[in-house]
Amino acid sequence: MKSKRANSLRYAVVIEKADGNFSAYVPDLPGCVATGRTQPLVRKRITEAIELHLQGMKEDGQAVPKPSATAVYVETAT
């Protein structure tokens, strides 16, 4: 899905609570991860990590993958 910003891509990001911080990863970009003490901080850092990851891919002559991962919440009975 395209973002509202010109020439931008919108990737799914998974944020998980860890012991004392948060971690984030991008399913469409293996190895693209970030951590932070708060959710806003990890969101900022994963955005920076995505930009650096994509820049590195371009510099290495690799094709930038189109976003394809999606996320849904599934409700179950306990």
Q: Tell me if 66 is assigned to some domain.
A: no
CA-CA-CA-CA torsion sign (68, 73, 74, 78): positive
> Would the pLDDT of 65 be above 50?
yes
* Closest-CA residue to 69 (of 4, 21, 9, 5): 9
Q: Tell me if 46 is assigned to some domain.
A: yes
> What mean pLDDT is predicted for residues 10-34?
96
Q: Tell me if 36 is assigned to some domain.
A: yes
> Would the pLDDT of 2 be above 70?
no
Q: Tell me if 32 is assigned to some domain.
A: yes
Domain count, the chain: 1
How many residues in total does the chain contain?
Answer: 78
pTM across the whole model: 0.85
Residue 4's pLDDT is 57
- What is the domain range of residue 31? 14-59
Task: Name the one residue in this structure whose structure tokens are 């995505």.
Answer: 50
